[in-house]
Amino acid sequence: MPSPPEDCLFCGIVRDGTYVAQTKGFVAIADINPQAPVHLLVIPERHVDTFRDVGAFPAREAKRMLEFVADTASGAGLTDYRVQVNVGPTAGQTVFHLHWHVLGEAARAHGAEALTTAVSEL
Ligand code: 5GP
Ligand code: ZN
């Protein structure tokens, strides 16, 4: 597998960032430019450019990634939400390190403080 680009933004965030949730091999962060009241990004530590290459994940890791997407949403207090992956520039992908958007209108718990508490308990 080719090595990740040295200047990959999300490889840097995985290394040095502040997470709202974390599990082995995956982190979740708050989107810097939220498009919904709750907008989180689930990022695998493994650098894969786009969802087109999702087969690069071993099956168990791919399953854990999907479970972590669901756990991140429920940990943020969301019951109803959208999961989005933009694949390629014309579909809106701007960061070429696979990531999952989790977008929700309202956390079950009220306010950002409650959200932080909820996700830190993941
Ligand atoms: P894409 O457009 O590739 O599907 O999603 C990239 C997302 O990353 C965008 O929603 C954008 O707001 C977010 N983003 C870009 N740079 C940063 C950053 O430095 N920190 C965080 N937390 N999010 C970022
Ligand atoms: Zn990367």
Residue nearest to atom 8 of ligand 1 (CA): 31
Q: Could you tell me the pTM of the whole model?
A: 0.89
Dihedral pair phi/psi, residue 101, rounded to 5°: -85, 135
**Distance from the CA of 41 to the center of ligand 1, in angstroms?**
8
C-beta of residue 84 within 8 angstroms of C-beta of residue 34: no
**Active site includes 97?**
no
Encode pLDDT of 30-78 as tens digits: 999 999 999 999 999 999 999 999 999 999 999 999 999 999 999 999 9
Tokens for 90, please give them.
């014309």
- Residue of higher predicted confidence among 64 and 120: 64
Q: In the prediction, which pLDDT does 110 show? A: 47
Q: In the prediction, which pLDDT does 3 show? A: 72
Encode pLDDT of 67-84 as tens digits: 999 999 999 999 999 999
Which one of 39, 47, 97, 99 is the catalytic residue?
Answer: 99
